[in-house]
């Protein structure tokens, strides 16, 4: 089994950037719409009447607080660039607090402060509620890691941890002052973060890369955990070998028995030998959520999706093997005591015969899990799922939670967060795409005869429409829903969504077997619009053609033209992650090398899109490739899109620069410092 | 026939005999300490000794019957089943394959390894078909007895001789079961524990007269366990430090029935019909014993697999 042992660079950040320490200044109109901007020099703690309800100290796009006599859901509304307060008992919207950016997550401290992340401007902001109106006042803010997407508090709430998605970092702050404490480098696209009960370890999920990271908060060291699925048939054979071995070992050790033991042990060893091909066919992605089990303690539950991209030495008709499911939902169980996922939770059952007999029973799998929370009373793990727009309850204590669906409730479109009101026996779900707050009853988390006991439909509240100038264009909004439509036969016959391979508009980091040969998924966010022609072969002149071909390969029936237009609008306008920041002198030096004739990078990577729009043979033809020329990819955001090349052969930019020398530009003449500068420059594109 | 087809046919066959009482129940969440609350037993392993050469034809074990169907001939198959109730012996002899649920399930022992040890197989059957050529073999019978809100599993191990139709008891043990959950259609979950295993029993209601021909479960290690024609399926899950095991059982649940308005059919002498509503449950159970657990964690849950369906049946058909 491949070990992802990554010891991240620990970067001392120093105490700076937090604009804290002065007098408070409320800037929110109560009972309506207000704007919260942190005053310069504002104190991080003045006075808040908010108290968190059953706070798991883990960020979400929705948090429950008590404001005086009210139970209030605070919702991080990215589209409105606001935090919206909703009275969950009366099901009414209370107030909107405008922010200086789009909030991704929030968490409420025991002393009532609301810590939120502004994703597009990379800031962390602290707000307080002075009254029960639901309006919040910003107290202080600090620079966050690029693309902040996840926040959690330590058990003593002295530390707040923030993950930066595209910035692939986690930064620790003093929760009282927002003074940064330290930062660690992580693998690609970290998302959710939870802290162990003893406060010593932070677990971080990753949207791509088959990984969950454990960060030792004392030693500030990073350990990546391999999250690869194992086919249940393989597991079954292995289990039988082990069983047979134990039986033999319990017998009288005759020479015959000893010979059998030796033979079985040899087979076990052989099967356990590193098999990259098998591992490659059990990759995982969609790690957007994490939740800590409450009963029993000591388990972290990590919803994900196992991906089988097919045999790269074959050319199937579509993306991935023609005969096995490509995407299988899973929930990994991480044992905090060992810091590893339990093997049984990583088994993938792709057996068709144990699936539903009648395809009309297909309830829609959770292929795009986005948020998770635990209801301790029913012992359920609640997972919100894009695409099927539902919150699904699983048995949180099972060793294979994904196989234990208890119940599901429909929510609004694009459920990004869930919070549990334990005493109120309900869960509140925030759905970003249609801006609704759904409240589902947790009274009965078990199946009932719905004809005799109709289940209470979730109570839904549509938030007040945004003013004309702030509203998302209808085309873009529709495109976003279509992009995340899982189980939609118009897009893919097997239920995959666009977001399955392009989570958050990024790429899944996976090389797929395709009819043309092995192909890396490509990053879309901020990269698509100017980079025609499309596909690695460059044979699709425009996006309409390219997406049409993609649907064909996915076995999708295709969208109506107005829907296709909307999807293209979304794909071309989805928010791009922020570029990396780097030492300007180094960047300038790297830019010079890039443009130099000796290096030759700019010969092909030219123009605003950093591509010449042509195909070249850079001697990278893989065994299953039909052709040998490949379209020059845009280098926008290239720093966060590894592994590289059409077949993902290079794990890092540095490896690419070294190993492609002579076939794609020249780098052998560069000193280590030059190479470093060139790599740094590339990361800023 | 594929398993998938078998299941499909099984459901249809089953529902042609269905008469269900709809009842709403729910599964409780996992509770810490459940392991300690489970009745503990120690079922003996399959025999470690060689099988007797022959069991005399006159030897019997109470509650089980070996029948040689007339149409099979002297060299054909024999059928092991629970003893039919008084007055039904002749009918049983005519058709030992029977209909309806049985309370008793049989599991065969298979020889393993070099020392002629036997191990119990994963599946169980209400009517076990044995070839005469199999000679003497160990068999375990498990009879479920539900009484006064509780349940007992009566386990008898025996030698069966497929040639002489003799049976000799090896040992018998009655095990108390704890009901840990239930689901719609009065499907119940019972559990007990052994040294390092938990046993999960998914039990169908006796009143249902409804045969899911094969109850099937898939364990987390990919093993398929099944029981055919029995009212229960028992699955053992390992409860060992550092690991876990789970099973998912597909259980068709009859939710109720309503008369079909036949527009005067009854008056015209047509048989009475009813529409039976059913929906498949996925019953899952898990054991795990991770680093911070003071004892094995046992959990279970029940959920719908798909949509509700219904079939029409003729009232009384197939019922005795």
> pLDDT of A252-268, one tens digit each?
889 988 998 999 888 88
Whether residue B247 contacts residue A236, with contact meaning beta carbons closer than 8 Å, is answered with no
CB contact under 8 A, A357 and B245: no
Report d(CA B58, CA B271) in Å as an integer: 46
Closest CA to A129 of A61, A74, A176: A74
What's the pLDDT band for B77 if we cut at 50, 70, 90? confident
Q: Mutating which of A232, A250, A354, A359 best tests the B interface, going by the most B Cβ atoms within 10 A?
A: A354
Average pLDDT over residues B50-54: 91
pLDDT of the residue at B213 = 62
A347 interface with B at CB cutoff 8 Å: yes
Residues above pLDDT 70, as percent of chain A: 91
**What local confidence, expressed as pLDDT, does residue B99 receive?**
61
Q: Name residue, tokens 């700019």.
A: A602
Mutate to test the interface with A, among B117, B118, B249, B286 (most CBs of A within 10 A): B286
Q: Which residues contact A617 (CB under 8 A, 6 or more apart)?
A: A628, A629, A630
Q: Does the distance separating the beta carbons of B183 and A333 come in below 8 Å?
A: no
Task: Specify the length of chain A in residues.
Answer: 685
State the pLDDT at residue A523. Answer: 92
Contact B293 A357 (CB under 8 A): no
Q: Three-class SS of residue A110?
A: coil
Shortest Cα distance, chain B CAs vs residue A659, angstroms: 42
Does residue B9 carry a pLDDT above 90? no
- Say if A349 is an interface residue toward chain B (CB within 8 Å): yes
Residues A637-670 have pLDDT tens digits of: 999 999 999 999 999 999 999 998 888 888 888 8
Q: How far is the alpha carbon of B246 from chain A, nearest alpha carbon, in Å? A: 7
* Chain A residues touching residue B223 (CB < 8 angstroms): 236, 239
User: In 10 A of CB B206, how many CB atoms?
Assistant: 14
CA atoms of A30 and A48, how far apart (whole Å): 14
Predicted pLDDT at A676: 93
**Strand intervals (E) in B113-265:** 117-120, 124-125, 128-131, 136-147, 150-161, 167-183, 187-194, 197-203, 214-219, 224-228, 232-238, 244-259
pLDDT above 90 for B216: no
Residue B92: partners with Cβ closer than 8 Å, 6 or more residues away: B65, B67, B81, B84, B98
Minimal Cβ distance to B291: which of A239, A260, A298: A298
CA distance A564 to A568: 6
Identify the three-state secondary structure at position B199. Answer: strand
Tens-digit pLDDT profile for residues A288-338: 999 999 889 999 999 999 999 998 988 999 999 877 789 999 999 999 999
Size of interface A-B (CB pairs under 8 A): 209
Tokens of B260: 């079909």
* pLDDT for the residue numbered B114: 58
With CB atoms and an 8 Å threshold, state whether B292 touches A336.
Answer: yes
Angle (CA) A510-A515-A520 rounded to 5° is 20
pLDDT in tens, A202-238: 999 999 999 999 999 999 999 999 999 988 777 777 7
What would the two tokens of residue B120 be? 């119990």
Q: How far is CA A449 from CA A560, B278, B304, B307, in A?
A: 38, 10, 10, 11
Q: Which of residues 47-76 of B touch A (CB under 8 A)?
A: none
Partner-chain residue, chosen from A239, A298, A445, that has the shortest CB–CB distance to B290: A298
Question: Between A163 and A606, where is the model more confident?
Answer: A163
Q: CA A471 to CA A468: how far, in whole Å?
A: 5
* Cβ under 8 Å to A: B residues 255-284: 255-256, 277, 280-282, 284
* Averaged pLDDT, A468-491: 94
A140 contact partners, CB below 8 Å, separation of at least 6: A18, A19, A20, A38, A42, A43, A44, A125, A126, A177, A178
Q: Give me the numbers of helices (H) and strands (E) for chain A, helices first please.
A: 11, 38
Q: Note whether A346 and A335 are within 8 A (CB).
A: no
Q: Judge whether residue A123 has pLDDT over 50.
A: yes
Q: Nearest Cα to B203, choosing from B262, B150, B130, B244?
A: B150
**Longest C-alpha distance within chain A, in Å?**
86
A239–B114: do the CB atoms touch at under 8 Å? Answer: no
Using DSSP's 3-state secondary structure scheme, residue A331 falls into: strand
Q: Do B115 and A248 touch (CB under 8 A)?
A: no
In this prediction, residue B21 carries a pLDDT of 30
Residue in chain A closest to B217 (alpha carbons) equals A354
Q: What is the pLDDT of residues A516-570, one digit of tens each?
A: 999 999 999 988 877 788 888 888 889 999 999 999 999 999 999 999 999 999 9
d(CA A639, CA B161): 73
Neighbours of A147 (CB within 10 A): 25
- Asked if residues A33 and A98 have their Cβ atoms less than 8 Å apart, the reply is yes
Q: CB contact, 8 Å: A450 with chain B?
A: yes
CB contact under 8 A, B29 and A358: no
> What is the mean pLDDT of the segment spanning B35-62?
90
ipTM of the complex: 0.85
Indicate the pLDDT class of residue B74, thresholds 50, 70 and 90: low
Chain B residues whose CB is inside 8 A of the A356 CB are 280, 305-306
pTM, full prediction: 0.89
Tell me which residue of A478, A426, A382 sits closest to A86, measured CA to CA: A426
Cross-strand bridge partners of residue A368? A386
Least Cα separation, residue A406 to chain B (angstroms):
4
Q: What pLDDT shows up at residue A12?
A: 37
Contacts of B246 in chain A (CB under 8 A): 344, 398-400, 403-404
CB atoms within 10 A of CB B11: 21
Question: Which whole number is the average pLDDT over A147-155?
Answer: 96
pLDDT bin (cut points 50, 70, 90) of residue A504 is very high
| Whole-number pLDDT of residue B15 | 37
Q: Spell out a b/e string for A337-352, using b for 16 or more CB atoms within 10 Å of the CB, else e.
A: eebbbbbbbbbbbbee
Q: Cα distance from A227 to chain B (closest Cα, Å)?
A: 16
Residue A7: per-residue pLDDT = 36
Which ranges constitute the DSSP H helices of A452-607? 474-483, 498-501, 543-554, 561-573, 584-595, 601-604
DSSP per-residue codes, A377-440: TTTEEEEEEETTTEEEEEETTSSSGGG---EEEE-SSSEEEEEEETTTTEEEEEETTTTEEEEE
Stretch (H or E) spanning A71: strand A70-77
Q: Are A105 and A60 in contact (CB under 8 A)?
A: yes
Residue keyed to tokens 């993938």: A348
Structure-block tokens of residue A540? 């699709």
Residues 116-135 of B with CB under 8 A from A: 117, 119
Which of B117, B290, B293, B297 has the most A C-beta neighbours within 10 Å, making it the best mutation to test the interface with A? Answer: B290
pLDDT at A374: 96
> What residues in B contact A296, CB-CB < 8 Å?
30, 32, 290, 292-293, 297
Higher pLDDT, B231 or A420: A420
Query: A468 pLDDT exceeds 70?
Result: yes
Is A453's CB within 8 Å of B24's CB? yes
Q: Is B244 on the interface with A (CB under 8 A)?
A: yes
Residue A10's pLDDT is: 37
Instruction: Return d(Cα A305, Cα A326) in angstroms, integer.
Output: 10
Q: Do the Cβ atoms of A232 and B30 come within 8 Å?
A: no
Give pLDDT, residue A56: 73
Considering chain A, what is the average pLDDT of its residues? 88
Compute the nearest-CA separation of A208 from chain B (Å): 25
Residue A662: per-residue pLDDT: 84
> Strand, helix or coil at A271?
helix
Q: Please, which pLDDT band fits residue A476 given cuts at 50, 70 and 90?
A: very high
Closest CA to A166 of A574, A484, A681, A641: A641
Q: Do the Cβ atoms of B271 and B235 come closer than 8 Å?
A: no
Res. B224: pLDDT tops 80? yes
Res A33: pLDDT: 66
Distances (CA, A) of A179 to A34, A144, A246: 27, 11, 56
Question: In chain A, which among 222-241 make CB contacts under 8 A with chain B?
Answer: 232-233, 235-239
Contact status, residue B281 vs residue B204, Cβ threshold 8 Å: no
Structure tokens at B224: 């398929």
Nearest C-alpha neighbor of A282 from the set A348, A334, A353, A331: A348
* DSSP-H helix ranges across chain B: 3-16, 34-37, 89-94
A113-122, A445-454, A521-530, B97-106: which is most confident: A113-122
Residue of A nearest to B291 (CA): A337
Q: Which of A546, A495, A493 is nearest to A522 (CA)?
A: A546
**Chain A residues closer than 8 Å to B291 by CB:** 298, 335-338
* Contact yes or no for A587/A674 (Cβ under 8 A): no
Closest among B199, B305, B4 to A354, alpha carbons compared: B4
Question: Nearest CA to CA, how far is A217 from chain B (Å)?
Answer: 20
Matching residue, tokens 């009854």:
B266
Q: Report chain B residues whose CB lies below 8 A from the CB of A332.
A: none
Asked whether residue A60 carries a pLDDT value surpassing 60, the answer given is yes
B250 at interface of A, judged by CB pairs closer than 8 A: yes
Contact (Cβ atoms closer than 8 angstroms) between residue B20 and residue B276: yes
CA-closest candidate to residue A184, choices A224, A242, A127: A224
Contacts A396 to B, Cβ<8 Å? 30
**pLDDT more than 90, % of chain A:** 66
When mean pLDDT is compared across A175-184, A654-663, B167-176, the lowest value belongs to A654-663
Q: Which of B218, B286, B307 sits opposite A354 (nearest CB)?
A: B218
* Contact call for B221 and A377, based on CB within 8 A: no
Q: Is A279 exposed, middle or buried (0-12, 13-18, 19+ CB in 10 A)?
A: middle
Of A335, A338, A395, the CB nearest to B284: A395
Residues of A in contact with B220 (CB under 8 A): 232, 235, 344, 347, 399-400, 403
Cis peptide before A296 (omega within 30 of 0): yes
pLDDT 10s digits, A363-402: 688 999 999 999 999 999 999 999 999 999 999 999 999 9
The larger pLDDT score, comparing residue B21 to residue A582, is at: A582
Give the residue on B whose Cα is nearest the Cα of A405.
B303
pLDDT, residue B210, reads: 54
A336/B291 CB distance under 8 A: yes
> Across-strand partners of A428?
A419, A439
**Cβ B254 vs Cβ B185: under 8 Å:** yes
Question: Is pLDDT of A39 > 70?
Answer: no
CB of A246 within 8 Å of any CB in chain B? no
Q: Beta strand A221-226 with A211-216: parallel, antiparallel or unpaired?
A: antiparallel
Please tell me if residue B287 touches chain A, with a CB cutoff of 8 Å. yes
**What pLDDT is attached to residue A572?**
94
Which DSSP string corresponds to B230-256?
BSEEEEEEE--TT-EEEEEEEEEEEEE
Cross-chain residue pair A446–B302, CB shorter than 8 Å: yes
pLDDT mean over A68-87: 97
């Amino acid at each position: 089994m491949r070990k992802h042992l990554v010891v991240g660079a620990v970067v001392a950040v120093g105490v700076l950037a937090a604009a804290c320490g002065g007098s408070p200044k409320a800037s929110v109109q109560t009972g309506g719409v207000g704007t919260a901007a942190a005053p310069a020099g504002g104190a991080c703690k003045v006075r808040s009447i908010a108290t968190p309800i059953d706070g798991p100290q883990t960020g979400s796009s929705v948090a429950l607080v008590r404001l005086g006599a009210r139970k209030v859901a605070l919702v991080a509304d990215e589209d409105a660039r606001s935090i919206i307060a909703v009275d969950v008992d009366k099901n009414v919207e209370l107030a909107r607090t405008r922010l200086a950016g789009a909030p991704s997550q929030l968490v409420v401290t025991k002393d009532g402060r609301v810590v939120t992340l502004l994703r597009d401007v990379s800031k962390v902001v602290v707000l307080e509620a002075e009254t029960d109106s639901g309006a919040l006042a910003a107290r202080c803010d600090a620079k966050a890691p690029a693309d902040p997407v996840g926040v959690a508090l330590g058990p003593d709430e002295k530390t707040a941890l923030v993950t930066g998605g595209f910035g692939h970092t986690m930064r620790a702050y003093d929760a009282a002052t927002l003074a940064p404490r330290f930062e660690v480098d992580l693998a690609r696209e970290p998302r959710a973060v939870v802290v162990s009960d003893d406060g010593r370890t932070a677990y971080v999920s990753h949207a791509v890369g088959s990984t969950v990271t454990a960060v030792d908060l004392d030693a500030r060291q990073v350990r990546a955990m391999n999250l690869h699925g194992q086919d249940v048939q393989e597991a079954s054979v292995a289990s039988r070998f082990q069983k047979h071995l134990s039986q033999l070992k319990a017998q009288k050790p005759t020479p015959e028995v000893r010979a059998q033991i030796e033979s079985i042990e040899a087979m076990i060893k052989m099967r356990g030998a590193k098999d990259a091909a098998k591992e490659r066919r059990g990759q995982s992605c969609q790690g957007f959520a994490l939740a800590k089990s409450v009963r029993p303690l000591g388990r972290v539950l990590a919803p994900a999706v196992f991906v089988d991209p097919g045999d790269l030495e074959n050319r199937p008709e579509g993306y991935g093997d023609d005969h096995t499911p490509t995407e299988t939902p899973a929930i990994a169980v991480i044992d905090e005591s060992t810091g590893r996922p339990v093997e049984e939770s990583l088994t993938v059952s792709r057996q068709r015969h144990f699936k539903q007999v009648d395809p009309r029973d297909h309830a829609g799998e959770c292929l795009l899990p986005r948020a998770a929370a635990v209801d301790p009373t029913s012992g359920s793990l609640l997972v919100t799922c894009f695409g099927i727009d539902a919150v699904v309850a699983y048995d949180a204590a099972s060793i294979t939670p994904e196989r234990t669906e208890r119940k599901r409730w429909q929510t609004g479109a694009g459920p990004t967060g869930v919070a549990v009101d334990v005493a109120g026996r309900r869960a509140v779900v925030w759905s970003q795409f249609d801006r609704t707050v759904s409240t589902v009853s947790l009274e009965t988390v078990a199946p009932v005869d719905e004809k005799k006991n109709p289940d209470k439909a979730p109570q839904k509240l549509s938030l007040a429409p945004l003013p004309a100038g702030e509203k998302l264009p209808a085309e873009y909004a529709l495109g976003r829903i279509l992009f995340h439509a899982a189980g939609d036969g118009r897009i893919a016959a097997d239920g995959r969504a666009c977001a399955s391979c392009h989570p958050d508009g990024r790429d899944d980091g996976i090389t797929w077997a395709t009819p043309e040969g092995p192909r890396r998924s490509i990053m879309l966010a901020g990269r698509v619009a100017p980079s025609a022609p499309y596909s690695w072969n460059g044979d699709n002149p425009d996006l309409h053609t390219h997406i049409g071909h993609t649907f064909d390969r996915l076995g999708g029936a295709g969208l109506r033209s107005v829907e296709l237009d909307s999807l293209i609008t979304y794909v071309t306008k989805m928010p791009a992650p922020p570029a990396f920041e780097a030492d300007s002198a180094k960047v300038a030096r790297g830019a010079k090398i890039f443009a130099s004739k000796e290096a030759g990078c700019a010969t092909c990577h030219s123009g605003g899109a950093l591509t010449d729009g042509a195909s070249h043979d850079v001697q990278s033809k893989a065994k299953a490739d039909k052709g040998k020329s490949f379209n020059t990819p845009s280098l926008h955001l290239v720093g966060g899109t590894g592994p590289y090349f059409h077949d993902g052969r290079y794990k890092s930019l540095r490896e690419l620069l070294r190993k492609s020398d002579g076939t794609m530009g020249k780098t052998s003449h560069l000193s280590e410092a030059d190479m470093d500068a060139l790599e740094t420059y590339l990361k800023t594109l | 026939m594929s398993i998938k087809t078998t299941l499909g046919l099984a459901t249809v066959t089953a529902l042609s005999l269905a008469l269900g009482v709809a009842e709403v129940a729910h599964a409780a969440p996992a509770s810490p300490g459940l392991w300690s609350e489970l009745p503990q037993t120690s079922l003996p392993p399959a025999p470690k000794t060689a099988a007797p050469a022959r069991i005399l034809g006159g030897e019997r074990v109470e509650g089980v019957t070996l029948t040689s169907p007339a149409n099979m001939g002297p060299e054909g198959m024999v059928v092991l089943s629970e003893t039919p109730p008084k007055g039904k012996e002749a009918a049983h002899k005519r058709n030992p394959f029977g209909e309806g649920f049985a309370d008793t399930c049989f599991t065969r022992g298979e020889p393993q390894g070099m020392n002629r040890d036997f191990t119990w197989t994963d599946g169980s059957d209400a009517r076990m078909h044995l070839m005469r050529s199999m000679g003497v073999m160990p068999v375990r019978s498990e009879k479920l007895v539900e009484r006064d809100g509780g349940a007992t599993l009566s386990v008898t191990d025996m030698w069966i001789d497929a040639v002489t139709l003799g049976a000799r008891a090896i040992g018998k043990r009655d095990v108390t079961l704890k009901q840990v959950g239930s689901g719609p259609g009065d499907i119940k979950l019972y559990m007990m524990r052994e040294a390092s295993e938990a046993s999960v029993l998914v039990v169908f209601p006796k009143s249902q007269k409804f045969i899911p021909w094969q109850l099937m479960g898939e364990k987390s290690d990919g093993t398929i366990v099944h029981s055919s024609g029995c009212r229960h399926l028992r699955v053992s899950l390992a409860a060992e430090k550092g690991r876990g095991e789970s099973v998912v059982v597909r259980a068709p649940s009859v939710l109720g029935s309503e008369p079909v308005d036949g527009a005067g059919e009854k008056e015209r002498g047509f048989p009475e019909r009813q529409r039976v509503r059913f929906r498949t449950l996925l019953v899952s159970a898990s054991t795990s014993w991770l680093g911070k657990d003071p004892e094995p964690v046992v959990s279970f849950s029940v959920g719908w697999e798909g949509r509700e369906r219904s079939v029409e049946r003729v009232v009384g058909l197939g019922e005795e």
